[in-house]
Amino acid sequence: MERLAPLSARDLTIGHGTRVLAQQINFALQAHEIMALLGPNGVGKTTLMRTLLGLTPALAGAVYVQGEDLSTLPRRSVARHLAHVPQQLSTAFAYSALDIVLMGASSRLGPFDRPGKADIAAAETALDRLGIMDLAAQPVTRLSGGQRQLVLIARALTQGARCILMDEPTASLDIANRRAVDAAIRSLAAQGTAVLLSSHDPDQAVALADHVLLLGRDGVIAQGATDETLTAAALSDLYGTQLQTGTRPDGNRYFY
Ligand SMILES: Nc1ncnc2c1ncn2[C@@H]1O[C@H](COP(=O)(O)OP(=O)(O)OP(=O)(O)O)[C@@H](O)[C@H]1O
């Protein structure tokens, strides 16, 4: 059952070359679930995401995508299952925002196919959902960091993958855009997408995530249901600073 999850890891070791960052990572992310990955700077959150995407080699263990071993899957097939929102959009070319978002549709197209009307409509829907339709024709090289981030999220929405991995998706966004992205994440999960996001904001994890995975300097220090796992004690241990928790008027906990 676990292996048929949109994304799972079994005894995974992550790192670079001979440098191990974390070992024995095990989880299964199911459809409709949101899992937040938290940990101090430099512990390996991005490395874990890249390993789960097959962009950085696993040092040991395995990643399964819908029950299939990631290392045996062709790249195109990975792109049909997993969408990636990296921390930054790196392109030297002045593609329009719509062009970048349309690249999300390319995982469904053959090598010589051009995007059709339905693909353009899907891209426009994604831009609209994130409130950035007015950026469609803008060259991405002229957009702000936050605007580029929204374009990357729209690209991932257009991909229509069953699982989306987002590396600090709201880090550079203002409060209104952050809300728009949080709402898009919730509605993706409600529609069945499995979401893994990394965040430096425990309050965001409380508000969004069903599960959390806490990655510390010596690997995974805790994981499980957010309510039980994301405690002031666990976060104090994780970040090496004393944190406390309170309750917001909406009932959600927050940390300070
Ligand atoms: N391509 C690479 N080759 C070698 N080491 C790398 C490479 N990429 C990252 N590292 C190192 O691996 C460690 C983990 O980096 P990573 O970016 O995964 O951390 P992170 O938890 O995402 O950090 P942050 O919260 O600051 O974004 C760091 O020490 C980093 O310098």
Number of folded domains that form the chain: 1
Instruction: Indicate which residue's Cα is closest to atom 17 of ligand 1.
Output: 46
DSSP state, residue 138:
S
Q: How far is the CA of 41 from the centre of ligand 1 (A)?
A: 8
Instruction: Indicate which residue's Cα is closest to atom 31 of ligand 1.
Output: 42
Six-digit token string for 86 = 């990296």
Answer whether residue 45 is part of any domain.
yes
Ligand 1 pocket (Cβ < 6 Å) reads: 16, 21, 39, 41-47
- The closest-lying atom of ligand 1 relative to the alpha carbon of residue 48 is 18
Answer whether residue 1 is part of any domain.
no
Q: How far is the CA of 43 from the centre of ligand 1 (A)?
A: 7
Please answer whether residues 197 and 36 qualify as being in contact, where contact means their C-beta atoms are separated by less than 8 angstroms: yes
pLDDT score at 3: 56
**What does the alpha-carbon distance between residue 192 and residue 119 come to, in Å, rounded to a whole number?**
20
Domain range for 230 is 7-255
Place of tokens 């957010």: 226
Answer whether residue 92 is part of any domain.
yes
**What does the alpha-carbon distance between residue 187 and residue 159 come to, in Å, rounded to a whole number?**
15
- The closest-lying atom of ligand 1 relative to the alpha carbon of residue 198 is 22
The residues, ordered by sequence, that sit 6+ positions from 31 with a Cβ below 8 Å of its Cβ are 5, 6, 162, 192, 193, 194
pLDDT score at 2: 58
Residue 177's CATH number = 3.40.50.300
Please calculate the CA angle 210-59-235 and round it to the nearest 5 degrees.
35
Place of tokens 């803008």: 138
Question: What are the pLDDT digits (tens) for 188-242?
Answer: 899 899 999 999 999 999 999 999 999 999 899 999 999 999 999 999 999 999 9
Asked if residue 109 has pLDDT above 80, the reply is: no
Answer whether residue 2 is part of any domain.
no
The mean pLDDT value for 25-44 works out to 97
Per DSSP, the three-state class of 151 is helix
Answer whether residue 196 is part of any domain.
yes
pTM: 0.92
Answer whether residue 147 is part of any domain.
yes
Question: What are the pLDDT digits (tens) for 66-98?
Answer: 999 999 999 888 988 999 999 888 777 889 999
DSSP state, residue 173:
-
pLDDT score at 22: 96
Ligand 1, pocket-test mutation among 46, 56, 214, most atoms within 8 A of CB: 46
Question: What are the pLDDT digits (tens) for 172-189?
Answer: 889 988 998 898 899 889
Q: How far is the CA of 223 from the centre of ligand 1 (A)?
A: 21
Instruction: Indicate which residue's Cα is closest to atom 9 of ligand 1.
Output: 47
The mean pLDDT value for 124-137 works out to 93
Question: What are the pLDDT digits (tens) for 208-219?
Answer: 999 999 999 989
Instruction: Indicate which residue's Cα is closest to atom 23 of ligand 1.
Output: 42
Answer whether residue 194 is part of any domain.
yes
Answer whether residue 85 is part of any domain.
yes
